[in-house]
Chains A and B, each alone.
Chain A
């Protein structure tokens, strides 16, 4: 995956060891699922060195979740592209969700897990307030174009300003160009991330896909710098 991971635990009992454990978990995920690593399980599978039946249960789980998402998103989600599997559109949210579970199991209540701009927040920030999550300006990454005030929610942004165009419409095999950023807010980051990826692949229709999903809100920015938001998105806006 190759991405910055940021963790913050507000609770007083947090130690370096707690943080290290979650960083190790992300390293483990990266070593298994990264298509950039020659020795990862996904690379070996793509090269035919591992048969499908011999895949780890985590990999099988991700393949299953991808199929489920493909169905729910009416085909606008596919980890298979030109015969190669790249599950990064679903693994990131899944890993962040699992990392948050590790913290919860240790009875931490106030923390966030951020991997590459996709975030799970729990409880309150160090000031005892809702976490303030800024949505990056896709045209000027030093700017924030929207500030959300959230607690116990996942926030995922899919965008094409990272490494150029990289989200494809799997139905047309064409890169998406008409929208540049789509943020999805939902109860957990695994769901928010996979739906953000799928909705992005739908282009301008994607925001209506989010609109129809129960419990999810979205904020889409198009190539002209015009944002469209779902009906109840404003409840998350920081005022």
Chain B
């Protein structure tokens, strides 16, 4: 089956758009090669690492959210926006900074490690995540980011 046939399958399946990339990378030692093909069966899905910048609606700055009731108790986060994007999320307050809270949590269920998420190196092979770009992820971090609009 050649590449044209793949496209025909896509079209016959009434998909809107087909994006096809085929790349062969020879390994340095030449003994093995890597075959990678990407097919998208849907349009309107920007690549997660697209080079174009979406128009930003956030102003640069640091915004502190209100103290909110999280699973273990109160949580408060600070969001830094740089270049119109979230550059950092800082944990200002979380419940296991108090002895009473720790004891209560440990009795109720195993204590699970928590951390504020942070951007990591993108030296990776594959990405796991929900695929399509959201129109509505602003729901999240709402309290802090509402101030940035």
Q: List residues of A whose CB falls within 8 A of some B CB.
A: 1-12, 14-21, 23-24, 27, 30-31, 37, 112, 114, 116-119, 121, 125-126, 131-148, 155-165, 177, 180-181, 183, 204, 207-208, 211, 221-231, 233-234
6 shortest interchain CB distances as A-B pairs: A136-B129, A159-B130, A162-B130, A164-B136, A225-B89, A2-B42
**Do the beta carbons of B37 and A7 come within 8 Å of each other?**
yes
Query: Chain B 21-41, CB within 8 Å of chain A: the 1/0 string?
Result: 010010100011111111111
Interface of B, helix, strand, loop or mixed by DSSP? loop
Q: Which of B41, B65, B126 contacts A224 (CB 8 A)?
A: B65
A177 to B141, CA, bound (A): 11
CB within 8 Å for A8 and B35 given contacts A24-B9, A147-B124, A226-B94: yes
**Do the beta carbons of B124 and A144 come within 8 Å of each other?**
yes
B102 at the interface (CB under 8 A from A): no
**Do the beta carbons of A221 and B117 come within 8 Å of each other?**
yes
Smallest CB–CB gap between B113 and chain A, Å? 5
B73 at the interface (CB under 8 A from A): no
Question: How many B residues, CB 8 Å from partner?
Answer: 73
B107 at the interface (CB under 8 A from A): no
Smallest CB–CB gap between A95 and chain B, Å? 12
Chain A residue with the shortest CB-CB distance to B113:
A229
**Do the beta carbons of B89 and A231 come within 8 Å of each other?**
no
Chain A residue with the shortest CB-CB distance to B40:
A4
**Do the beta carbons of B42 and A159 come within 8 Å of each other?**
no
Smallest CB–CB gap between A131 and chain B, Å? 5
22 A-B interface contacts by CB (under 8 A): A8-B34, A12-B31, A27-B41, A30-B41, A37-B13, A132-B123, A134-B124, A134-B127, A136-B48, A136-B129, A137-B119, A147-B120, A160-B130, A161-B130, A162-B131, A162-B134, A164-B136, A180-B140, A181-B129, A224-B75, A226-B89, A230-B112
**Do the beta carbons of B119 and A3 come within 8 Å of each other?**
no
Smallest CB–CB gap between B104 and chain A, Å? 15
A121 to B128, CA, bound (A): 12
Question: Which residues on the A side are within 8 Å of B119 (C-beta)?
Answer: 137, 140, 143-145
**Do the beta carbons of A6 and B128 come within 8 Å of each other?**
no
A192 to B133, CA, bound (A): 22
Question: Which residues on the A side are within 8 Å of B128 (C-beta)?
Answer: 117-119, 133-136, 148, 155-157, 183
Chain B residue with the shortest CB-CB distance to A1:
B41
Chain A residue with the shortest CB-CB distance to B145:
A139
Question: Which residues on the A side are within 8 Å of B125 (C-beta)?
Answer: 8, 112, 125, 131-133
**Do the beta carbons of B142 and A225 come within 8 Å of each other?**
no
Smallest CB–CB gap between A69 and chain B, Å? 19
Beyond contacts A30-B41, A159-B130, A180-B140: 15 other A-B pairs, Cβ-Cβ < 8 A, are A6-B36, A8-B35, A14-B35, A37-B13, A135-B128, A135-B129, A138-B137, A139-B137, A140-B86, A147-B121, A156-B128, A160-B137, A165-B139, A222-B70, A226-B70
A10 to B25, CA, bound (A): 10
**Do the beta carbons of A121 and B126 come within 8 Å of each other?**
yes
Smallest CB–CB gap between B82 and chain A, Å? 11
**Do the beta carbons of A19 and B141 come within 8 Å of each other?**
no
Question: Which residues on the B side are within 8 Å of A234 (C-beta)?
Answer: 113
Smallest CB–CB gap between B66 and chain A, Å? 10
Which positions 66-124 of chain B face chain A at CB distance < 8 Å? 68, 70-71, 75, 77, 79, 85-86, 89, 91, 94, 109-110, 112-124
